[in-house]
Amino acid sequence: MKAQRTLRRSISCAGIGLHSGKKVTLSLKPAPADSSIRFRRCDLGGLEVPATVKHVGGINYATGLARDAVRVDTVEHLLAALVSLGIDNVVVELNSPEVPIMDGSASPFIDLIQQAGVRQLSATRHYLKVLRPLSLSRGDKSIAIYPSDHFRVTYSIAFDHPLLQHQSMTLSITDSSFIEHIAPARTFTFLKEVEMLRQQGLALGGSLENAIVIGDTGVLNGQLRFDDEFVRHKILDVIGDMALVGYPIVGHLVAHRGGHALHTAFAAHVLEDADAWTLVESMDAATADAAAAIPIKDAYRAAN
């Protein structure tokens, strides 16, 4: 059994929203056991929206959450950093509607969490352990999850661009593999899309400081952080989007050409099909132990 975790102390940073272009201060604050990850808008009197699929509200080149009058956009990179470092409970306070994009990766959020430190709580963490495969596809995009004894992600991408015709990667996700191989990978966009995005009022805060921009013949930013930085960023995105199931996942996630819309639809699909998974108290609980975990799942159903 593992204990739930939160941060040892509060910590803040400032940046701009990728799509809104607005300045924003972000604070991460310790939170009690079983309170999960919640976004709080201090510019709206402290109204909150929990980071769950139930509150997905608007997917526009980023994942947004909404509840009543509260919305928070571009939550995925921060969520990926929090869940990969095993932070179960935290309040994310913002004074603007969008999480800062920082350098386009999750590394600045990793630094922030590490500076704050981690504190164990006196409640047991529950993992969502996949018992049978689930899948979802839309056109040529697909995503699936299979039973596995740990959290593993396979992602493949294919774009109609010579730099990006095919990239694929499989990685077992632990805090250290995430920090080393995934967190530094930056978001990317195509130069020919930038103007279209701006006409839609998006990417207003975008620059070469916070996104890889791909022109016809190469990237405009100079050096990539990894030769396959693009597919690594897709793994970062899917970890952040799947965090909206509300539990650390024990299973092998396999996605091809996905995006935020497919990722978040799949997170909802997984939660709905509650016979395909069980909640367990240990990542290596064998499938045979699933029967012992059923009361926990019943408790989950009752609560939702």
Catalytic residues: 260
Query: Binding of Zn ion at residue 278 (CB under 5 A)?
Result: no
- Which among 43-51, 105-113, 143-151, 232-240 is the span making contact with Zn ion, rule CB under 5 A? 232-240
Query: Binding of Zn ion at residue 241 (CB under 5 A)?
Result: no
Query: Binding of Zn ion at residue 6 (CB under 5 A)?
Result: no
Query: Binding of Zn ion at residue 237 (CB under 5 A)?
Result: yes
Closest CB to Zn ion among 91 and 211? 211
- Which among 34-42, 83-91, 229-237, 277-285 is the span making contact with Zn ion, rule CB under 5 A? 229-237
Query: Binding of Zn ion at residue 93 (CB under 5 A)?
Result: no
Q: How far is the CB of 262 from Zn ion (least distance, A)?
A: 14
Question: What CA dihedral angle connects 113, 37, 126 and 111, to 10 degrees?
Answer: -10
Query: Binding of Zn ion at residue 105 (CB under 5 A)?
Result: no
Closest CB to Zn ion among 129 and 232? 232
Closest CB to Zn ion among 104 and 246? 104
Query: Binding of Zn ion at residue 74 (CB under 5 A)?
Result: no
Site for Zn ion in 186-225 (CB under 5 A): 187
- Which residues lie across from 199 on neighbouring strands? none
Burial class (CB in 10 A: 0-12, 13-18, 19+), 254: buried
Binding mask 172-191 for Zn ion (x = CB under 5 A): ---------------x----
- Which among 81-89, 189-197, 235-243, 245-253 is the span making contact with Zn ion, rule CB under 5 A? 235-243
* Residues making contact with Zn ion (CB under 5 A): 187, 237
